[in-house]
Structure 1
Amino acid sequence: MELDKLEILLEKYFEGETSIAEENQLKEYFSSSNVAQHLKQYKPLFGYFSASKQQEFTQEVPLVSNNQTKKRTTTWLSIAASVTVLLGAGTFTYFNYDNTQSQELGTYDDPEVAFRETQKALSLLSQNVNVGMESVQYIQEYETAKNKVFN
């Protein structure tokens, strides 16, 4: 093969513009013993392609079906979700637990103390009911005024 044509083919090869036939010509040239001195640097490149073409993969690949990997993934995701939900529920319960057994239930051993506390509670209730009654009186006045206007 002419040296000029070979250099043009090499340039096309490195640009990725060669056809398969042209690449085969390059492989044949570089596998021969009479390679030009300034092109010997490319001989290992094309020699590697020839050697790797004859290599065979002999290691066994374990076959794992896609369905098995989906099951494993689904299993781990469901376990992680369950743990997250349980931790969240536990944390919520821990921080919002109202200990009603330790609260005083309002029972008194002394009847006089019980009477005074009952009077305080009823007084507070009475005050709040009186405030509510004042509001109802305003509503009644509004109703009577409305009835006078519309009747």
Structure 2
Amino acid sequence: MELANIENLIEKYFEATATVQEEQELKTYFSQDNVAPHLQEYKPMFQYFTDLKSEKFTRNVPLKPRKNYLKWISVAAVFVLTTSLFINEWKKQREVDEAIADFKMAMSLVSENLNTGASHINYLSEFEETTNKIFITRNN
């Protein structure tokens, strides 16, 4: 490989404009034993990247089970909300039922009083008839 070409590739690499193929050329060049003395400082970096690619993590990672507190909190919140809405509607319905019962009782009392008053109207009609008979006989 030409030394000028390698220097240009290093410039492109540090400017982040090098292609994957050009980076591969740099890795190949720096994996050789005969690297130009003024480019020796880059050899450990590219060697590290090559070594890093071959590394694998082999230890087992213990996974702790996730605690589902959030799930149960949301279930409890939905339960409380639904229950409170149900109780609120139940109380409203009970108040409406009590109001209807009070209205029925008031209407039955009014009805009883009207019926009592209606029975006295019969006495008034008899009184009126008798009064009319008296006035008609006096006027004649």
TM-score (norm 2): 0.47
**Larger helix fraction of residues:** 2
Q: Decide which structure has the larger Cα Rg and report it.
A: 2
TM-score (norm 1): 0.44
Higher relative contact order (CA 8 A, sep 6+): 2
